[in-house]
Amino acid sequence: MTLVRILFAFGMIAVIIGAAAIAGEDQEAGKSEEMTSQEMPPMGPPEEMKMMKDVVGVYDVEQQWRMDPASEEWETSSGVATYELILDGAAVRHTYESEMMGMPFHGLGLIAFNRETGKWQQAWVDNMGAQISYYEGNYKDGQMVTVGEEKWQGQTYLARITVYNMEPDGFDWKYEMSMDGGKEYFTSGKAHYTKR
């Protein structure tokens, strides 16, 4: 009986050691497959950010705003915008100083290209809205068009920002609003940026 128990114990130990060895091999194989399929992702500024180096600088801005699509009257203001590459070129920070409706207006934005989604992203905050707005979109045919959801006086709407006519000495900017989920947009703001 004792010999049977000893042989049984040795048999169980052999089974356990064998199973552990097989499990270890499977884990090692899994790790090497993981390492192969999950190599170090691209790091640093995406190639698309290189185009933003031409935007870097200080601009004089002539801007017009209207909140009512039926109105032909535009509020006008002048301001100064500064664009600079930050985070080793991975993003652009832009600031804007102006006056709106007779009050000081200060804004701060970030622009980056998301290599995971293949989309341009913008974030914006200013002292009047006091909220962070987020926009996402594409650069195509010389225009950067980004869209985001906004809230204004309790209403949700889509905002579309288009940057176009990009030249070494400046560009044009347009802000559009849609109250019907993007079926129709009206131009609420427009500006011309002239590089100093």
d(CA 52, CA 84): 9
Do 64 and 156 have their domain in common? Answer: yes
Tens of each residue's pLDDT in the chain, 196 residues = 444 454 444 454 544 455 555 555 555 555 555 555 578 888 999 999 999 999 999 999 999 999 888 888 999 999 999 999 999 999 999 999 999 888 999 999 999 999 999 999 999 999 999 899 999 999 999 999 999 999 888 889 999 999 999 999 999 999 999 999 999 999 999 999 999 9
The model's pTM is 0.76
Domain total in the chain: 2
The DSSP code sequence of 12-41 is HHHHHHHHHHHHHHHHHHHHHHHHHHTPPP
Q: What are the structure tokens assigned to 169, written together?
A: 């000495």
Do 187 and 121 have their domain in common? Answer: yes
Q: What are the structure tokens assigned to 189, written together?
A: 């703001």
Of 77, 16, 91, which is closest to residue 49 (Cα–Cα)?
91
Do 51 and 107 have their domain in common? Answer: yes
- The pLDDT, as a whole number, for residue 71 is 87
- The pLDDT, as a whole number, for residue 23 is 53
> Residue 17 is part of which domain span?
1-39
State the DSSP H helix or E strand holding residue 141, giving kind and residue range, or none if neither: none
Do 66 and 129 have their domain in common? Answer: yes
Do 175 and 111 have their domain in common? Answer: yes
Do 154 and 78 have their domain in common? Answer: yes
d(CA 48, CA 46): 5
Do 102 and 183 have their domain in common? Answer: yes
Do 25 and 57 have their domain in common? Answer: no
- The pLDDT, as a whole number, for residue 6 is 46
The CATH number for 189's domain is 2.40.128.20
Do 115 and 18 have their domain in common? Answer: no
